[in-house]
C-alpha cells in the first residue's frame, strides 16, 4: 500500500512539473513580447507627456491625442529596430544573447507566431491518418523537414478548447494530406469551437474526397 502511495506521489510530481513547464514555455514568448512592448510604451508615454508640457499642452486634457502620438512613436521605434536587427551589429548582439540558456528556445517559439502565416516556415494544416480506427485527424505541421525516421514528418495534434498543449507524432508521408485553404488561424478557430464549426465551415469549402487533397509528397515536390 505504501509503495502504491509513493508511486502515485512520484507520478503526480512528474506530471505536475511537466505541465508547469508546458505552460511556461507556451507563455514565455507571449509574456516576453508583452513586457517589452509595455516597457517601451511606458517610456514613450512619459516622453510624450514631457514633450506636450514643453510646448505648453497639458497631456491630461488630450488623452486620445497623447495615446495616438505614443503609438506612432512606438511604431517608428519598432521599424528602426526591425532595420537594426538585420545589420552586422544586430547579428553580433543576437550572438551574445544566444549564449544565455533558454534564449534560443524563446526565440524559436516567437518565430512560430511571427512566421506562421506565410513563407518557408508557414504552418500547414494537415489531415493525418492513423490515430483512430478509421478516418483522419486534423493537425499542424510547423516544419516540413524530414524526421529522424526516413519518410516521416513531425505533426502535432492540439488540445481543445484551449490549444496551449498537445501531442507530437512522427507520421509517414503517405498518411499526411494538406488542407491548402486552411491557415494557422483557421485551425485555432476550429479548436476553440470544439468542433461546433467544422473546418469546411471555417474555410467555406465543400467536403471533398481524401484523394482531392494534396499529399505532403506532392506539396514538397511543388516546392
Coil, strand or helix at 120: coil
Higher pLDDT, 138 or 166: 138
How large is the average pLDDT for residues 8-21?
A: 59
Give the orientation angle of helix 103-114 with respect to helix 2-54, to 10 degrees: 70
- Going 178 to 180 to 182 to 183, the CA torsion angle's sign is positive
Whole-angstrom distance, CA of residue 171 vs CA of residue 155: 7
DSSP letter for 195, please: T
**What three-state secondary structure class fits 180?**
coil
User: What mean pLDDT comes out for the span 149-167?
Assistant: 84
Q: Which three cell numbers stand for residue 83?
A: 532595420
For residue 175, the 8-state DSSP code is: G
Does pTM top 0.95 for this prediction?
no
The listed range with the strongest mean pLDDT (42-46, 69-73, 109-113) is: 69-73
Residue 18 pLDDT: 62
Average pLDDT of the segment spanning 72-93? 70
pLDDT of 222 over the 60 cut: yes
Amino acid at each position: 500500500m505504501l509503495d502504491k502511495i509513493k508511486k502515485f506521489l512520484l507520478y503526480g510530481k512528474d506530471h505536475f512539473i511537466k505541465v508547469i513547464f508546458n505552460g511556461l514555455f507556451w507563455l514565455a514568448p507571449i509574456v516576453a513580447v508583452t513586457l517589452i512592448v509595455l516597457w517601451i510604451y511606458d517610456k514613450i508615454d512619459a516622453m510624450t507627456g514631457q514633450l506636450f508640457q514643453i510646448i505648453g499642452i497639458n497631456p491630461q486634457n488630450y488623452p486620445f491625442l497623447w495615446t495616438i502620438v505614443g503609438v506612432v512613436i512606438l511604431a517608428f521605434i519598432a521599424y528602426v529596430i526591425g532595420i537594426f536587427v538585420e545589420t552586422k551589429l544586430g547579428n553580433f548582439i543576437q550572438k551574445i544573447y544566444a549564449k544565455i540558456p533558454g534564449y534560443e528556445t524563446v526565440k524559436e517559439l516567437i518565430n512560430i507566431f511571427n512566421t506562421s502565416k506565410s513563407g518557408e516556415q508557414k504552418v500547414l494544416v494537415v489531415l493525418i491518418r492513423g490515430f483512430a480506427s478509421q478516418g483522419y485527424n486534423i493537425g499542424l505541421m510547423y516544419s516540413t523537414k524530414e524526421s529522424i525516421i526516413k519518410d516521416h514528418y513531425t505533426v502535432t495534434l492540439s488540445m481543445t478548447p484551449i490549444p496551449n498543449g498537445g501531442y507530437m507524432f512522427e507520421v509517414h508521408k503517405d498518411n499526411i494530406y494538406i488542407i491548402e485553404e486552411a491557415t494557422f488561424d483557421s485551425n485555432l478557430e476550429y479548436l476553440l469551437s470544439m468542433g461546433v464549426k467544422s473546418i469546411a465551415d471555417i474555410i467555406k469549402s465543400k467536403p471533398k474526397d481524401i484523394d482531392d487533397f494534396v499529399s505532403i509528397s506532392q506539396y514538397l515536390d511543388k516546392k
